[in-house]
Structure 1
Amino acid sequence: MNTDTHAKNDEFETLLCFSKAVAAARHRSDLWEIVNEQLLENIGASYYTLCLINEDAITHSPFLYSPKNKIKTVTGESPVMLQLHPIHDGIFDKAIEEEEPVVFNMQSLVRRKGVPTYIIHWYNAGVKEMMLVRICNGKEPKGVLYLYALKTGVFLQSRFSFFKGIADQLGTGISNILANETVELQLEEIRKYKTQLEQENSYLKEERRKDKQLTGKAIGKSAAMGKIYDLVSKVAPSDATVLILGETGTGKELIAHQVHEASPRHDKLMIKVNCAAIPANLLESELFGHEKGSYTGALEKRIGKFELANNSTLFLDEIGELPLEMQAKLLRALQEKEIERIGGKSVIKVNVRIIAATNKNLEAEIVAGRFRSDLYYRLCVFPISLPPLRERREDIPELVSFFIEKYAVGSGRKVTGIAPKALEKLKAYSWPGNIRELEHLIERTVLLTAAGAITEVSLPTRNKILFASQHPETQVRSLADVEREHILKMVKLSKGKISGPNGAAAKLQLPSTTLISKMQKLGIRKEHFIDTGKEHD
């Protein structure tokens, strides 16, 4: 057997082994090891770079490369190696156009005008000769294999068919790896979606358990409720933010449900957050979620309520209890329509319709420095004020009938109605706890009634005292609250000016430095007395 035949056989064996190894490669690191361990020595090259045409079809960049004996992919390495280069750089495009490998003498190449920076990089690394072999997927060019030798005369024309065979195998391997990376990305998205579905399902089960009584419509045919129904019908089809106002127990959550159920988002679950029921240090995680390990106790990733409510409705109950720090973060989420998980490295776009509710006077909270005016104007796009039960007494008979039937069935009691005298007693009561108080009273009365109609109701006198204590004149306020409110009033009268003859300090007969110190101590900031709502519209 002559030398040429022996060499051809060696090349055939090398191609066969290389082909089998490349076919089994699933990641870039696999391919890197195969090229370095099975190929470079047989080719006579010291280094290589495998560049692919980018999606923009005007640049190319490294897919794999191997300076020295370390694994190098396109992440975290030499800036010269990692930057994008134009396809038409006089080197890459020449290799793409040629079916045969192209060999360059580096010393001659660097003398050219406008030579690419990566050529200078390899010349300075001691490379004497460079060969480029076109890589195709079928007949379509996908990239170029650069091979570098530390001496000349390494890449012989007699071995060009062998080099082309190597490039063909690499084309197949790269296609497999890219397809595998696409599949892995899709699987990761599926895992994320599955996790979200599991959390949504768990949340849905819990909410259904809690809110079985909130599936119906509001009860009442009074003129006051007629106005509410009209407002709900007008705002529901839109994506406008709704702020539901009203005393405790007036049915704010039920109205929120009705807005959601009449909206285009009704096929998805309305997500709820009670801002008063969650500790302040957990609210951010509850709303925006967190990544695993983002803080002590974060043992797994958590999807926040904003993500769960994507393409649905988020109901923020007791919004007046939200801490000031969280108010700022909520405002940003509403303005930008994006959130960040705690410990996350990227923003998440969300499409969420907001319904908020409170029994507080938010305008008074703004004056007191406990609520941001800019957040208030963001929430109060479409306010709905629910009337207290004492202002819709004509609805009491219908409400009583509904609650009697509900709790009679639930408790197995054969209670059929209520006597006129007892009903008149209920209609005469002031109901400081509103519908919630009426419901609890009927539930208790049904349990105490063996059968037939309810003839007697026991109204709790303590609620009258509680109701009276809520009157502003009987509330006990701290000195700090009174001082904060008075300072805010003076600053607003001065149009935000602190010092000077027309400033708040002069009106309060205080040095401006003393007033500024007091404002800092009381937590009074610029947004409390300057309306910034228009800046964000």
Structure 2
Amino acid sequence: MVLEQLLRKEKENAILLAMGRELASIRRKEELGPLLVQQLKNFSFYSDISIAKIDRENPTTFSSFLVNEQSPRMIRADYPKMRDRHHTFPDGVFEKALYSKVPVRFDLEDMVKKGPVPSYVKFMLDTGTVEMFGTSLRDRNVAIGVLFTFSPKKKAISDFQLNIFEGIGHLLGTAVANIMANGQIEQQLGEIRQYKEQLEEEKVYLQQEISSNYAFEEIIGSSGPMKEVYEKLETVSKTDTSILIMGETGTGKELLARAIHNCSGRKRRLMVKVNCASIPENLIESELFGHEKGAFTGAHERRIGKFELANQGTLFLDEIGELPLHLQPKLLRALQELEFERVGGQNTIKTDVRIIAATNRNLEKAVYEGSFRSDLYYRLNVFPIVIPPLRDRKEDISPLAAHFLHKYSQKTGRNVTAISSSAMKSLLAYSWPGNVRELEHLIERSVLLCKGSILKSVVLPTEMGLSNVAVSGPEILKTHEENERDHILHVLERCGGKIFGKGGAAETLGLNVSTLNSKIKKLGIQKANPFNEI
């Protein structure tokens, strides 16, 4: 009898020693399940398993650490909910196995007959389990979870089998603790990599922003329409409310967005700009949400998108009206749920951004025409701000012109200190279809051409012959769009159809190339015109 006991103990030790060596090599949870199932089968014990762990965040609850993904239970519609649930204990079951020094047997049918049971016990019984065993998992003598095994029928279990099961529990506690620690380290390393990527992106972005030389104090004007804008800015800037800035090209929508950001609680973080009109359609999604390595041809490395870069800051979506229709639902989801996935990625990324959008289009008309989603429009148009065109606030022309004169006099090293009254009259008489941007570029050009300290004349487009068309008979009044179309046509004609580059139409008009191209398309200026090089 004694010899038999010694031989059995030696066999137990040999089995557990071999398993200990195998467990020592396990670093990932995915490798653990198959090993456990095989070992339990080797000594004819129940091989349908589950490991439950005490939650790190809340020590009064437990949840699944590892489950048998081959179990018939998986076909149940409520299985994912039960698998992912966090259960509160003590519940009469989990803590019995957790704190016991030996494996605990549970007769599920008998438990249900005697009274209320935890939901997972009822679920297991409903899916065919009638008996289960639980053994405590310990790390450095601290209980961290339970290994459960399940059976659809009751059968006699020998002392040898229970001893092996108990021994597996002792070995498994350290292995599970190591896997959890490795998982936490991997998560922390991933976060460090992500923060490093974000810092690199922020560094590049800040260098670009510094070189752009933005300054929100360039919002100049004390006219009635601008005072209304300032009042709205003061009302909304310190909130996280979404803002839609509307106004014609060149009115200063980006400067206003930057002023709102700089007056907000997010001013110590980035304001990230995305120009929806200047990015190729097939790259906009990647630009907004980032992409994983290999997500598409040319994606040689993972890159974070503007939503991640703007986390805890402000995301400025310029020319939002040009966003392709098929991408609008993805943007809407990111705005509503504050989460997204990188292109080619599976993980959902949370973000905290304040949205400011801007457009020179009539979005209500675009919604009616079906080129812009109504739900996205209403999500963006929480607090609309309309910047008036320069022709509707002519009293601001004089201070603006003086500001630009000082700016470009210093920048070019010229001593131009004032604008003559005749030149100012010309500025006040002009309609400024390009708004403040056109005024700025005209003053810059005039400073370069000025021969003395006083700017005595300015060369307006009418004086260049661009719209100096003789009209006989009754005066024909044209809409603003018609005048703008004629003006662009004249500039294109003078520039020989050249749009970008030095001496191109975009430079002459004081517009971005992408904005001018959008206007050409919107105003129906066709390539069939003499300017077939557009």
Q: Which amino acid aligns with 1:170?
A: L
- Aligned-pair CA distance for 1:236: 1.0
Unpaired segments ≥5 residues, structure 2: 114-120, 470-476, 487-534
Q: Which amino acid aligns with 1:273?
A: V
Provide the residue aligned with 1:471 in structure 2: 480
Q: Which amino acid aligns with 1:276?
A: A
Q: Does 1:449 align with 2:450?
A: yes
After TM superposition, the structure 1 stretch with the greater mean CA deviation from structure 2, 453-462 or 435-444, is 453-462
- Aligned-pair CA distance for 1:451: 5.1
Task: Note closer, same or farther for the CA distance 1:61–1:231 as it changes in structure 2 (3 Å cut).
Answer: closer
After TM superposition, the structure 1 = structure 2 runs for residues 233-248 of structure 1, keeping only pairs within 5 Å, are 233-248=234-249
- Aligned-pair CA distance for 1:456: 2.9
Task: Note closer, same or farther for the CA distance 1:78–1:465 as it changes in structure 2 (3 Å cut).
Answer: farther
Task: Note closer, same or farther for the CA distance 1:262–1:9 as it changes in structure 2 (3 Å cut).
Answer: same
Distance in 2 (alpha carbons) for counterparts of 1:328 and 1:276 = 17
Whether the aligned pair in 1 keeps the contact of 2:129 and 2:150 (CA below 8 Å) is no
SS at match of 1:213: coil
Distance in 2 (alpha carbons) for counterparts of 1:374 and 1:101 = 58
Distance in 1 (alpha carbons) for counterparts of 2:365 and 2:7 = 94
Q: Does 1:213 align with 2:220?
A: no
Q: Which amino acid aligns with 2:177?
A: S
- Aligned-pair CA distance for 1:142: 2.3
Task: Note closer, same or farther for the CA distance 1:134–1:424 as it changes in structure 2 (3 Å cut).
Answer: closer
User: Identity across aligned pairs (percent)?
Assistant: 45
Cα deviations by residue, 1:258-284 (Å, 9 ceiling, x for unpaired): 111111121111121222212333333
Task: Note closer, same or farther for the CA distance 1:301–1:470 as it changes in structure 2 (3 Å cut).
Answer: farther
- Aligned-pair CA distance for 1:95: 5.1
Q: Does 1:279 align with 2:254?
A: no
Distance in 1 (alpha carbons) for counterparts of 2:428 and 2:392 = 11
Whether the aligned pair in 2 keeps the contact of 1:51 and 1:60 (CA below 8 Å) is no
Cα deviations by residue, 1:471-494 (Å, 9 ceiling, x for unpaired): 3567999xxxxxxxxxxxxxxxxx
Whether the aligned pair in 2 keeps the contact of 1:414 and 1:450 (CA below 8 Å) is no
Q: Which amino acid aligns with 1:183?
A: I
Q: How many residues were matched structurally?
A: 453
Distance in 2 (alpha carbons) for counterparts of 1:434 and 1:475 = 12
Distance in 2 (alpha carbons) for counterparts of 1:319 and 1:91 = 57
Distance in 1 (alpha carbons) for counterparts of 2:338 and 2:129 = 51
Partner residue of 1:202 out of 190, 201, 204: 204
Whether the aligned pair in 2 keeps the contact of 1:44 and 1:154 (CA below 8 Å) is no
After TM superposition, the structure 1 = structure 2 runs for residues 161-176 of structure 1, keeping only pairs within 5 Å, are 164=166, 166-176=168-178
- Aligned-pair CA distance for 1:315: 1.7
After TM superposition, the structure 1 = structure 2 runs for residues 326-337 of structure 1, keeping only pairs within 5 Å, are 326-337=327-338
Whether the aligned pair in 2 keeps the contact of 1:45 and 1:147 (CA below 8 Å) is no
SS at match of 2:241: coil
Distance in 2 (alpha carbons) for counterparts of 1:207 and 1:320 = 24
SS at match of 1:240: coil
Whether the aligned pair in 1 keeps the contact of 2:132 and 2:148 (CA below 8 Å) is no
Partner residue of 2:70 out of 41, 65, 77: 77
SS at match of 1:446: helix
Q: Does 1:396 align with 2:397?
A: yes
* Superposition CA RMSD, Å: 4.6
SS at match of 2:357: strand
Provide the residue aligned with 1:53 in structure 2: 52
After TM superposition, the structure 1 stretch with the greater mean CA deviation from structure 2, 361-370 or 191-200, is 361-370
SS at match of 2:453: strand
Q: Which amino acid aligns with 1:191?
A: R
After TM superposition, the structure 1 stretch with the greater mean CA deviation from structure 2, 443-452 or 94-103, is 94-103
Provide the residue aligned with 1:460 in structure 2: 461
After TM superposition, the structure 1 = structure 2 runs for residues 5-404 of structure 1, keeping only pairs within 5 Å, are 22=23, 25-28=26-29, 44=43, 48=47, 51-55=50-54, 63=66, 74=67, 76-80=69-73, 96=98, 98-101=100-103, 133-137=135-139, 138-140=141-143, 142-144=145-147, 155-156=158-159, 164=166, 166-209=168-211, 211-345=212-346, 347-404=348-405
Q: Which amino acid aligns with 2:208?
A: E
Distance in 1 (alpha carbons) for counterparts of 2:29 and 2:368 = 61
Task: Note closer, same or farther for the CA distance 1:143–1:412 as it changes in structure 2 (3 Å cut).
Answer: same
Task: Report the TM-score when normalising by structure 1.
Answer: 0.68
Cα deviations by residue, 1:295-339 (Å, 9 ceiling, x for unpaired): 444444443323333332222222233333334444444444444
Task: Note closer, same or farther for the CA distance 1:23–1:89 as it changes in structure 2 (3 Å cut).
Answer: same
Provide the residue aligned with 1:509 in structure 2: none
Distance in 2 (alpha carbons) for counterparts of 1:469 and 1:10 = 100
Distance in 1 (alpha carbons) for counterparts of 2:458 and 2:479 = 25
Whether the aligned pair in 1 keeps the contact of 2:266 and 2:314 (CA below 8 Å) is yes
Cα deviations by residue, 1:500-520 (Å, 9 ceiling, x for unpaired): xxxxxxxxxxxxxxxxxxxxx
Distance in 1 (alpha carbons) for counterparts of 2:483 and 2:454 = 40
Task: Note closer, same or farther for the CA distance 1:407–1:339 as it changes in structure 2 (3 Å cut).
Answer: same
Distance in 1 (alpha carbons) for counterparts of 2:357 and 2:325 = 16
- Aligned-pair CA distance for 1:50: 5.9
After TM superposition, the structure 1 stretch with the greater mean CA deviation from structure 2, 6-15 or 268-277, is 6-15
Distance in 2 (alpha carbons) for counterparts of 1:473 and 1:399 = 27
SS at match of 1:287: helix
Whether the aligned pair in 2 keeps the contact of 1:289 and 1:302 (CA below 8 Å) is yes
Task: Report the TM-score when normalising by structure 2.
Answer: 0.68
- Aligned-pair CA distance for 1:218: 0.8
Distance in 2 (alpha carbons) for counterparts of 1:198 and 1:319 = 27
- Aligned-pair CA distance for 1:14: 6.9
- Aligned-pair CA distance for 1:34: 7.5
Cα deviations by residue, 1:215-249 (Å, 9 ceiling, x for unpaired): 43411233332222222111212222222222221
Cα deviations by residue, 1:18-49 (Å, 9 ceiling, x for unpaired): 65665564334665688799x779x8457756
